[in-house]
Amino acid sequence: MEGFFSQAIIYILAAIICVSIAKKLGMSSVLGYLFAGILIGPYVLKFISNETEGQDIMHGTEFGVVMMLFLIGLELEPKNLWRMRDLILKVGLAQVLLTSLAFFLIGLGLGVSWNISLTAALSISLSSTAIVLQSLKEKNQMDSVEGKMSFGVLLLQDIAVIPILAILPLLAVNAPEMLERNEHGGFFDEYPGWIQTFAIFASIGLVILMGKYGFGPLLKLVVKTHLRELFVATALLIVVGIAYLMILVGLSPALGAFLAGVVLANSPYKHALESDLDPFKGILLGLFFIAVGSTINFSLIFSEPIKIFGLTLGVMLVKALVLLGIGKYRKLSMPENLNFAFGLAQASEFSFVTYSFAFQLMILDRSGADTLMAVTALSMGLSPVLMLILDKTIIQKEGMKENKKSGDSDVVNEKNQVILLGFGNFGSTVGRFLRANGIEATIMDSDPDQVDFLRQMGFKVYFGDGTRLDLLHAAGADHAKILISAIDSTEHSIKIVKLCREHFPHLEVMIRARNRFDAYELMDVGVENIYREHLDTSIRMGEDALRKLGFRAHTVHRLGKQFRDYDEEALKVLVQFKNNRKEYISKVRKQIEMQESLLSGELSRKFSLNDHAWDSEQMKDSDSRK
Amino acid sequence: MRKILILFAHPKFEQSDVNQALINSISHLDHVHIRDLYDLYPDFDINVQAEQEILFEYEVVIWHHPIYWYSCPPLLKQWMDLVLEFGWAYGPGGVFLRNKYVMNVVTSGGSKEVYAAEGRNRYTMEEFLRPFEATAYLCHMRYMPPFHVGGTHRITKEELEGKAKVYQELILSLRDSPSIDFPYIQKP
């Protein structure tokens, strides 16, 4: 246990220091983590004693990538994925095939045997999902043209993992006995091919079915317990479960998680899942990058610096060239293309798996595997540095010229201008009115039954409690203009107001208040737009009563309006005296006192229309005086 | 420099290209204050006192509105009914509008030719606007001839730009010229 704590402290401390320095210098966090890994790795501070330990951590934390893809899936609705099929199939496939072919030929040209060349070529063709997506997200480029293309390529690469792992054993020409395939050793390995294939399709089907019909009710059940940790645990269970299932049938867990994410993208729990899993993903990915940093074999690099660096730069250059060609073909602008090509130029963390698998299969010898792994780790370490240099030099300069292009304006931003919290009787009326006039709001409600019902009615309602900052972020509070709180708890509303003031000062908040007393509390925290729920209805009722007593409708209408204005004004005056009252007076007592002061004020005011509108009495008077 | 108050009444301003062009051409001018009545009083509940206090400050008043059924939109009529009070705007002690300049700025679907003795509407715009003239007259104001943009259904972009420019120049001259040289009618 002590060992664990000291380890944890070292990792976290290294991450905090390096990442915050990296961020201060305007670099991506990936670079900070990598550097932290190098620092605590076997060649500097020696907290991690050897590369194998680093690789173990890496395998452990690869789960961060799975989570990341689950979260990305959540943001990608099925119809959008379908729209990307062209990108995934054409761009992705072209990249994998062309890159593999190039490296295969280079390998043969350098006199390496064909099976080693092919193993290396296939592995090198893949890029690091973790590094690329993290960088794209940090730079807010997921929705840009090159961001979408990068994502398409990465998705196909994740699919390509399956055939690559299947091909490797066939390359083992001199493997004496088949070793146990514990690397991706699936449960169905001993079974014939058709059962394996069937298992794969069955499990994908299961994931989709569960996503559509299983997870929703499960989450709803959990939500009703009102225990947040249980919801987090369920979210984790879903992701872990899918990953396990995928490993069982020999598929990429990241791919399975991505699929589940896509299926859940329309779910009401989307935002809640996002905000609950995000920290786990962040920490795991951070550790993952640290582990990558610690696996860079500096003794090997220092013993043959020219060879290793030459190979690494060669790998990245060739990969980038192939990608540049594809980008050119897809008519990317120069800065977009550079971003796309060099962003994907590193080798993948998955190569560690293929190389050690190939080593077990005796395709590679120890030194070959070590060299390739060193190249992989180095390329992953170098790629953020390279991107940084590119960003600061060419892309920025080129970007100046095509400034209008860099703002991803052609991407339709689906973020709504209005966030509506609480979709009960009050909120739903507001929401319906807005919708009837073409304004869609992002709606959140914390009652799972209500959410369910409204979803059936065709409203896009998300499960969530507006008092959590992460959920507000997920609901798009950064971009929205107005936040409407139609929830009936003023305590909650006040929390929301404070959160918004601190984190989203641009947001205009409009708050529902149950009564005068709540309105005072809201005024105390400085809310300007307060809507007492009974005010308009009760005045309207009074108006109708006056009409039934013979008042004319137009007069009554004006009287009602005037009374409402007066009441709102009176509220502003009375709130100043509110705090002078002694503490022991109960809320109820206060309410009565308020009513009293109001009523006496109205008696002296005499509510008649005291303007002279359409009034001819004066004129008659003055005429008669003549 | 004179201060100019534009009392603008249009129930569907967001769909009126012509009035948007006209308003945009003057909205940025100093000493020119535009009061969009339909935006201020959606429920016709005009704040009489506030309106009177504002009128007090301005030397030139413009009634800017489209022509509906040969008159102004109802909210401007409501404004006149309520704000121009007996004993304030006219009658004994009703001196607060005396000597202020006032003008109708109107837009109409029918062209200038339609608004003529021989035209389809049989009367000129000036004749249709007699109630405004009479109101101004009773209040001892100086009523100037209207500024009319006609044929708005068929107006071209260039024509509209031209009209907006003329409107701007009109407002500028009302604001800046040492003396207002437009002819006007005033109760002696």
Tokens of A585: 């007076």
* Higher local confidence (pLDDT), A383 or A58: A383
The pLDDT, as a whole number, for residue A177 is 46
Strand partners, B4: B32, B60
Nearest Cα residue to B147 out of B96, B105, B86, B183: B105
Q: Which residue has the tokens 């109960």?
A: A586
* Mean pLDDT, chain A, integer: 79
**Contact criterion met (CB < 8 Å) for A613 and B81:** yes
Task: Give the CATH number for residue A304.
Answer: 1.20.1530.20
Query: Is the model's pLDDT at A77 over the cut of 80?
Result: no
Each residue's pLDDT expressed in tens, for chain B with a length of 188 residues: 899 999 999 999 988 999 999 999 999 999 999 999 999 999 898 989 899 999 999 999 999 999 999 999 999 999 999 999 999 999 999 999 999 999 999 999 999 899 999 999 999 999 999 999 999 999 999 999 999 999 998 899 999 999 999 999 999 999 999 999 899 999 98
Q: Can you state the angle between helices A270-294 and A63-74, rounded to 10 degrees?
A: 150
Name the DSSP letter for residue A90: I
The pLDDT, as a whole number, for residue B176 is 94
- Whether A433 and A372 map to the same domain: the answer is no
Please state, in angstroms and rounded to a whole number, the distance separating the CA atoms of residues A267 and A98.
38
Chain A residues with beta carbon closer than 8 angstroms to that of B85: 612
Please state, in angstroms and rounded to a whole number, the distance separating the CA atoms of residues A40 and A37.
5
The pLDDT, as a whole number, for residue A405 is 36
Q: Which residue has the tokens 């304030």?
A: B88
Query: Is the model's pLDDT at A242 over the cut of 80?
Result: yes
- Whether A375 and A446 map to the same domain: the answer is no
The pLDDT, as a whole number, for residue A89 is 84
Evaluate whether residue A613 is within a structural domain.
no
**CA A292 and chain centroid, separation:** 24
Alpha helices in A210-269 (DSSP H): 215-223, 228-249, 253-264
B93 close contact with A: CB closer than 8 A: no
- Whether A300 and A425 map to the same domain: the answer is no
Domain containing residue A462: 418-605
The pLDDT, as a whole number, for residue A625 is 60
- Whether A453 and A363 map to the same domain: the answer is no
Cβ within 8 Å of residue A491, ≥6 positions away: none
A89 — phi, psi (to 5°)?
-70, -50
The per-residue pLDDT for range A287-304, each reduced to its tens digit, is: 888 887 787 777 778 888
Task: Give the CATH number for residue A430.
Answer: 3.40.50.720
**Contact criterion met (CB < 8 Å) for B82 and A611:** yes
All structural domains of chain B: 4-176 (3.40.50.360)
Query: Is the model's pLDDT at A610 over the cut of 70?
Result: no
Query: Is the model's pLDDT at A183 over the cut of 50?
Result: no
The pLDDT, as a whole number, for residue A412 is 29
* Higher local confidence (pLDDT), B52 or A582: B52
For residue A348, name the pLDDT band (cuts at 50, 70, 90).
Answer: confident
First to last CA, chain B: 26
- Whether A174 and A207 map to the same domain: the answer is yes
Please state, in angstroms and rounded to a whole number, the distance separating the CA atoms of residues B114 and B176.
34
Please state, in angstroms and rounded to a whole number, the distance separating the CA atoms of residues A297 and A38.
10
Alpha-carbon distance B113 to nearest alpha carbon in chain A (angstroms)? 37
Report B:110-169 residues touching A (Cβ under 8 A): none
Number of A/B CB contacts below 8 angstroms equals 23
Cβ within 8 Å of residue A119, ≥6 positions away: A168, A171, A354, A355, A358, A363, A364
- Whether A170 and A27 map to the same domain: the answer is yes
For residue A612, name the pLDDT band (cuts at 50, 70, 90).
Answer: low
* Higher local confidence (pLDDT), A223 or A484: A484
Query: Is the model's pLDDT at A408 over the cut of 50?
Result: no
Alpha-carbon distance B82 to nearest alpha carbon in chain A (angstroms)? 5
Tokens of A42: 């076997």
Q: How many angstroms separate the Cα of A216 from the Cα of each of A205, A238, A367, A455, A483?
A: 16, 11, 50, 12, 27
Query: Is the model's pLDDT at A173 over the cut of 70?
Result: no
For residue A278, name the pLDDT band (cuts at 50, 70, 90).
Answer: confident
Evaluate whether residue A95 is within a structural domain.
yes
Evaluate whether residue A626 is within a structural domain.
no
**Contact criterion met (CB < 8 Å) for B82 and A561:** no
The pLDDT, as a whole number, for residue A184 is 47
Q: How many angstroms separate the Cα of A570 from the Cα of each of A11, A533, A556, A565, A566?
A: 60, 17, 21, 9, 6
Kindly report the number of other CB atoms within 10 A of residue A17's CB atom.
14
For residue B139, give the amino acid letter: C
Tokens of B155: 């107006």
- pTM metric for this prediction: 0.59
Evaluate whether residue A618 is within a structural domain.
no
- Whether A500 and A576 map to the same domain: the answer is yes
For residue A307, give the amino acid letter: K
Query: Is the model's pLDDT at A186 over the cut of 70?
Result: no
Nearest Cα residue to A36 out of A18, A13, A60: A18
Kindly report the number of other CB atoms within 10 A of residue B4's CB atom.
22
- Whether A385 and A515 map to the same domain: the answer is no
Query: Is the model's pLDDT at A580 over the cut of 80?
Result: no
Closest chain B residue to A562, measured at CA: B45
For residue A12, give the amino acid letter: I
Report the residue of A616, A619, A621 to disrupt the B interface, i.e. the one with the largest count of B CBs within 10 Å: A619
Q: What percent of chain A has pLDDT over 70?
A: 85
Query: Is the model's pLDDT at A443 over the cut of 80?
Result: yes
Q: Across residues A116-132, what is the average pLDDT?
A: 86
The pLDDT, as a whole number, for residue B55 is 96
**Contact criterion met (CB < 8 Å) for A611 and B86:** no
Alpha-carbon distance A404 to nearest alpha carbon in chain B (angstroms)? 28
Q: How many angstroms separate the Cα of B134 from the Cα of each of A380, B100, B129?
A: 85, 14, 9
Query: Is the model's pLDDT at A203 over the cut of 60?
Result: yes
Q: Which H helix or E strand runs over B53?
A: helix B48-57
Backbone conformation region of residue B6, classed left if phi is above 0, alpha if psi is from -120 to 50, else beta = beta
Report the residue of B41, B45, B84 to disrupt the A interface, i.e. the one with the largest count of A CBs within 10 Å: B45
Chain B residues with beta carbon closer than 8 angstroms to that of A622: 86, 91-92
**CA A490 and chain centroid, separation:** 29
Tally of domains within chain A: 2
3-state helix, strand, coil in chain B (%, to 5): 35, 20, 45
Query: Is the model's pLDDT at A594 over the cut of 70?
Result: no
The pLDDT, as a whole number, for residue A395 is 60
B87 close contact with A: CB closer than 8 A: yes
Evaluate whether residue A617 is within a structural domain.
no
- Whether A394 and A423 map to the same domain: the answer is no
Report the residue of B83, B86, B90 to disrupt the A interface, i.e. the one with the largest count of A CBs within 10 Å: B86
- Whether A389 and A428 map to the same domain: the answer is no
Cβ within 8 Å of residue A18, ≥6 positions away: A32, A33, A35, A36, A39
Closest chain A residue to B88, measured at CA: A612
The per-residue pLDDT for range A542-571, each reduced to its tens digit, is: 999 999 998 888 888 888 888 888 888 877
A247 — phi, psi (to 5°)?
-65, -40
First to last CA, chain A: 106
Q: Which H helix or E strand runs over A533?
A: none
Q: Across residues A125-139, what is the average pLDDT?
A: 83
List, edge to edge, every strand of the sheet that includes A529-532: A461-463, A441-445, A418-421, A482-485, A508-513, A529-532
Minimum mean pLDDT range among A31-35, A412-416, B14-18, B34-38: A412-416
Contact A184, A200 (CB under 8 A): no
Closest chain A residue to B47, measured at CA: A611
The pLDDT, as a whole number, for residue A6 is 79
Evaluate whether residue A74 is within a structural domain.
yes
B104 — phi, psi (to 5°)?
-90, 130
Pick A561's closest partner by Cβ from B45, B81, B91.
Answer: B45
Please state, in angstroms and rounded to a whole number, the distance separating the CA atoms of residues A591 and A585.
10
Report A:580-619 residues touching B (Cβ under 8 A): 611-615, 618-619
Evaluate whether residue A621 is within a structural domain.
no
B45 close contact with A: CB closer than 8 A: yes
The pLDDT, as a whole number, for residue A338 is 84
- Whether A71 and A102 map to the same domain: the answer is yes
The pLDDT, as a whole number, for residue A584 is 40
For residue A409, name the pLDDT band (cuts at 50, 70, 90).
Answer: very low
The pLDDT, as a whole number, for residue B2 is 94
Report the residue of A554, A622, A624 to disrupt the B interface, i.e. the one with the largest count of B CBs within 10 Å: A622
* Higher local confidence (pLDDT), B149 or A416: B149
Chain B residues with beta carbon closer than 8 angstroms to that of A619: 86, 91
The per-residue pLDDT for range A495-522, each reduced to its tens digit, is: 899 888 888 889 999 999 988 888 888 8
Cβ within 8 Å of residue A553, ≥6 positions away: A547
The pLDDT, as a whole number, for residue A626 is 56
- Whether A432 and A332 map to the same domain: the answer is no
Q: Which residue has the tokens 């007393």?
A: A517
The per-residue pLDDT for range A354-369, each reduced to its tens digit, is: 887 787 777 888 788 8
Chain B residues with beta carbon closer than 8 angstroms to that of A615: 86
Evaluate whether residue A412 is within a structural domain.
no
